[in-house]
Amino acid sequence: MSGVPTILYRDAHLEIVDKPTGVAVAAGRDGDHASSLLGQLGLRLCHRLDVGTSGVLVLARTEHGQRLVSAAFERGAVEKTYLALVAGDLSDAGVVDLPLGDWKRGRVQIGRGRPARTRFAVLARGVHRARVHAWPETGRTHQIRAHLSAVGAPIVGDEDYGGPAAARIYLHAARIVLPWPTADDRLVIEASEPAGFA
């Protein structure tokens, strides 16, 4: 995947893209807006993906679109599915229900702060590796990264949370289901799996 996002869906109010890894969604702490995805595309932010995370990202073309998506996120009506490659051993399925705190020195505090809940299921296993689907039920910063690390299965490439070094953080926003005023009242958008997750 190159540094240019692929458009997955577009209408008068939304633009949903497949964000490449390594691309910032919004201006970072250095204030460099021009090189961010929002700066390049001139769109409105609906939610975030970390720089190292690839996959489905919902952006708004209008204020009305941004309001509709933000309201859906606030009432918990958006379903997100992530794909991760993790190191370590993990049970076949489970729930991580640990609060997450403030972001400091590249990571969030685990075990105190705001409530956070993530469900996961193992798709396939290798030697001390697993392909995992994760479904965040809340939307905290670094939630999947912190929660998988907390259960002994840090994401490959996520050195901030104890994962082994790799060319990228192996976390991909694979699918989103979003209430939307279309013929069937919802959008289901998927981003192709990047190379290296097998």
- The residue written with tokens 């998988």 in the block is 148
Q: Is 164 helix (H, G, I), strand (E, B) or coil?
A: coil
Compute the CA torsion angle 174, 51, 41, 32 (nearest 10 deg).
Answer: 170
Which are the contacts of 190, defined by CB distance < 8 A and separation ≥ 6?
8, 56, 174, 175
Which residue among 11, 18, 50, 97 is the active-site one?
Answer: 50
11 CB burial (10 A radius; 0-12, 13-18, 19+): middle
Structure tokens at 6: 């692929």
Told to judge if 11 belongs to the known catalytic residues of this protein, a careful annotator would answer no
DSSP per-residue codes, 107-151 = EEEESSSB--EEEEEEEEEETTEEEEEEEESS--TTHHHHHHHHT
Which of 99, 118, 94, 120 minimizes the C-alpha distance to 110?
Answer: 99
Report, as residue numbers or ranges, the catalytic residues: 50
